[in-house]
Amino acid sequence: MKWLRLPALIGCVLLAPMALAVDVAELYKAEIQVPDDGDQARSKALTSALKKVLIQVSGNQKIVERDEALVILPQAADLLQQYSYRHEEVTAEDLVDEQAGKRFYLQTVFDREATERLMRSHGLPVWTGIRPQVLLWTTLENNGARQLVSLQESVEISAELEALAQRRSMPLQIPLMDLTDQSTLTAADLWSDYRPAIDKASERYPHDVITTLKLSPTVQAEWLARWNVYRGDQLIQFETQAPAAQAALMDGLNELQDRLSDLAAQEVISDEPIKVSMWIDPVDSVQLYSKVMSRLRNDPTLTDLQLHVLEGSGMQVSVKVRGGRPELEKLLTRQAEFGVTPMTALQAQQGFDLVLQPELISKGVAAQ
């Protein structure tokens, strides 16, 4: 079988077979190039660093466009746990628009628990579980011929693909395309979406998701990439198009991870009760305190009510509820008994999952 190499068509090469695992701790780290190691440069760069972290933690590159994320980003300094600098000496021969000398990189680590709480409190998805390992098979149609694409012999795009996989925390598996693969799978199998052959060829590789990519040129001198994503019995299909095949490939991998992130966000509700910590304020009278505790205690869907702190005009309590914080928020705000207050980074660091105001309960006490 003849294997098509990509350098002439895509001008790039992809990684040999790999399985990039996700280290959850790395999701909360980000590196940003800065002009110097001064306070002003660091302050400006923290927002960019937190943007990277929100994308990594959610698994969705579009997350930073949401209004909820725009509320969190100004609190980057409060969520910062530690920072350091990496210096790189650069010579004039290595540069085009920059001067020779030191290049500075700000390395940041954000508070994991506080970042997650703040994201959840604003309705942003948190995807810190095991990311699905993606196995990618590729075929290409050109000048009427369809051929499987051998991606493992290239050189230039390996760094770009690995950077994308690391940036998106995407475990990516590229097939060997050796004699075993050649004897099991054909370009016709991939192009016709022949699932038995695709599944058989995929058996030798660790994976959670099988992805097939069909690349072909268009009459507009662009490249069309058609994607099939097999996730168990579920099939996801989409297309990407770009002037270069390489761009269509990278755009498609980004789109794939965004879609897997959206699916993960829909599956986070658990049947097991989850402990949720709340700060309720104001609770400024004995009657109001009694009403709030009675409301929580008598709800059959809530268990293990505990009072942790009664301080100033507020109190910290925790309960267990199926579905965690999102379900508790729906439950308590459905009848407008409680109103949700936007959480700050400081409150997230203090361990709160939800900040509430006892709205209707307060009015009822005041009317008595």
Distances in whole angstroms, Cα of residue 193 to Cα of each of 95, 175, 176: 47, 17, 20
For strands 234-242 and 223-231, give the pairing: antiparallel
Q: Please provide the size of the chain in residues.
A: 368
Supply the pLDDT for residue 330: 77
Under 8 Å between Cβ of 127 and 58? yes
CA-to-CA separations, 33 to 38, 109, 194, 236, in angstroms, rounded: 12, 15, 46, 37
For the CA atoms of 55, 57, 58, 64, what is the dihedral angle to 10 degrees? -30
pLDDT at 16: 40
What distance in Å separates the CA atoms of residue 174 and residue 179, rounded to the nearest whole number?
A: 15
**Token pair for residue 18?**
């790999």
Q: What tokens does 255 get?
A: 């789109």
Ranges of H-type helices in the chain:
7-10, 39-58, 67-72, 76-79, 112-121, 157-167, 179-184, 187-191, 195-202, 245-266, 286-297, 324-333, 345-349, 359-367
- Beta carbons within 8 Å of 105's beta carbon, 6+ residues apart: 31, 32, 33, 34, 85, 86, 87, 88
Is the backbone peptide bond immediately before 282 cis, with ω within 30 degrees of 0? Answer: yes
Q: Is the confidence at residue 11, as pLDDT, over 60?
A: no
DSSP 8-state assignment for residue 130: P
Instruction: Give per-residue pLDDT as tens, 178-227.
Output: 899 999 999 999 999 999 999 999 999 989 999 999 999 998 889 999 99
303 vs 110 pLDDT, higher one? 110
pTM greater than 0.85 (yes/no) = no
Q: What is the pLDDT of residue 233?
A: 87
Q: How far apart are CA 93 and CA 323, in angstroms?
A: 57
Residues 207-221, buried b or exposed e (16+ Cβ, 10 A)? Answer: bebbbbbbbbeeeee
Residues 6+ positions from 290 with CB-CB distance below 8 Å: none
The architecture of the domain spanning 7-22+130-266 is 2-Layer Sandwich (3.30)
Write down the pLDDT at residue 306: 95
- Supply 151's token pair: 């991606």
**Residue 3 confidence (pLDDT):** 38
Q: What is the pLDDT of residues 151-171, one digit of tens each?
A: 666 666 666 778 888 888 888
